A and B are shown apart, each in its own frame.
Chain A
């Protein structure tokens, strides 16, 4: 216990800011993903916190938040093979960095481009991994529903899997990006950005 206190004592204000914001982002990811699953929504909602950590702090923070979130999914749901899906949240964390301009401010045009890229890249990655791991069957009811619908219209197995994933990823990314932007806006300016210890 005393060692933990000593460790916390060694942390700078900036490190504490990072730790608290990242912890909140992990909690948001976990809670929203759980709500989306229990309410049987056509959404995953497992990346809003990851995107928020990227834009509030920096991409490295987003990458770590995504990994912690992925870890909880692995421990409580799917086991170690879940780790491959980390590539999806890592891609979201890195692409979310495009939302900010050179001065570190959010721009609408950049948000739209970034969201589109997140949709495309995460759809491709998810569909490929899903196809390889479970033959295209998803944990999300709506992805499977849209995939079966696509198959009934004559689409191939992989294409229908991609369509199913895409139709869920579009609303999922829009909602996730919106929530992340809201989190960014409600975060006081002095807590945003990297290496701000001099301001605290």
Chain B
């Protein structure tokens, strides 16, 4: 039975209609369970909706737990113990906790994590994940530069204008929204030196923030091209087909 469950959830090519139905049900449950968050009032109907979707998501959680030893590199008892600490299991549990009454209603926002339950069932996400995986090193380097730049800008500003920036956290907040070109304008430098630093920070900041966008776009283009190449190769006719087709053309001529 566990093998059947495993192939139902994970073997995308061989599981046929049942697998697709399973994916659809879990994905739809994840999506539908977010609907109550769109309303300020909690209607009685939402209780039933919540119960249905919660149980579907929990069933998926339990089924993945039951077959985790097939996927894990650990042996049988250890694999089952490790499962609740895997990233997807933690996310799954976190998004279910508010419905179980374990957490205060203020943690309702955790339900938003349910959208991540749809990720394994989205083909597009595979492409996104591949791009980010391939460009991981470059993106991390840019992230380190951006974080370092934010820290230095904030520090310079905090030292230069202690009256404007009450805490270092304020300075970090200012540096982040300036670097990302959001600029709420609730905190801003007032001294000439501060304004000059702000200008420099904005000019260089734009360049740093724009870098990942270019990297990800290039990665996407490459991924799309390779997908198209693969599908072209699969569609390429066999040599015998070409010969037959040529013979047909010759005959017609």
Contacts and interface: CB of A to CB of B under 8 A. Distances in A.
A63 B67 CA distance: 12
B17 interface: yes
B2 interface: yes
Nearest to B49: A80
B100 A81 contact: yes
B54 interface: yes
Nearest to A3: B17
Of A18, A80, A133, the most chain B CB neighbours within 10 A belong to: A80
B251 interface: no
B201 to A, nearest CB: 49
B185 interface: no
A129 to B, nearest CB: 10
Interface string B30-63: 0000000000000000011011101100110010
Nearest to B101: A81
Given A79-B47, A195-B1, A84 B100 contact: yes
B16 interface: yes
B55 A10 contact: no
A140 to B, nearest CB: 20
B58 A83 contact: yes
A5 to B, nearest CB: 12
A29 B59 CA distance: 18
A53 to B, nearest CB: 10
B55 A6 contact: no
Contact of B1 (A6, A61, A79): A61
A57 B1 CA distance: 9
Contacts of B66: 60, 63
Contact of B99 (A6, A57, A80, A194): A80
Contacts of A74: 51, 55
A84 B97 CA distance: 10
A67 B47 CA distance: 18
Contacts, number: 61
- The binding surface of chain A is classed by DSSP as helix
- The binding surface of chain B is classed by DSSP as helix
A141 interface: no
Interface string B1-37: 1111100000000001110010000000000000000
A31 B215 CA distance: 61
A58 B1 contact: yes
A80 B4 contact: no
B51 A67 contact: no
Given A60-B2, A60-B5, A71 B55 contact: yes
A10 B21 CA distance: 14
Contacts of A6: 17
A interface bracket (residues with beta carbon within 8 Å of B) = 20 to 34
Nearest to A74: B51
Contacts of A58: 1-2
A1 interface: no
Interface in A1-45: 3, 6-7, 10, 15, 18
Nearest to B63: A64
Given A67-B62, A74-B51, A18 B1 contact: yes
Contacts of B2: 58, 60
Contact of A83 (B4, B17, B47, B100): B100
B101 A67 contact: no
Contacts of B21: 7
Interface of A: 3, 6-7, 10, 15, 18, 57-58, 60-61, 63-64, 67, 70-71, 74-75, 79-81, 83-84, 86, 133, 194-195
29 contacts: A3-B17, A18-B1, A58-B2, A60-B5, A60-B66, A61-B1, A63-B62, A63-B66, A67-B58, A67-B59, A71-B51, A74-B51, A75-B51, A75-B52, A79-B50, A79-B51, A80-B50, A80-B51, A80-B55, A80-B100, A81-B100, A83-B54, A83-B55, A83-B96, A84-B100, A84-B102, A86-B58, A194-B1, A195-B1
Interface of B: 1-5, 16-18, 21, 47-48, 50-52, 54-55, 58-59, 62, 66, 96, 99-102
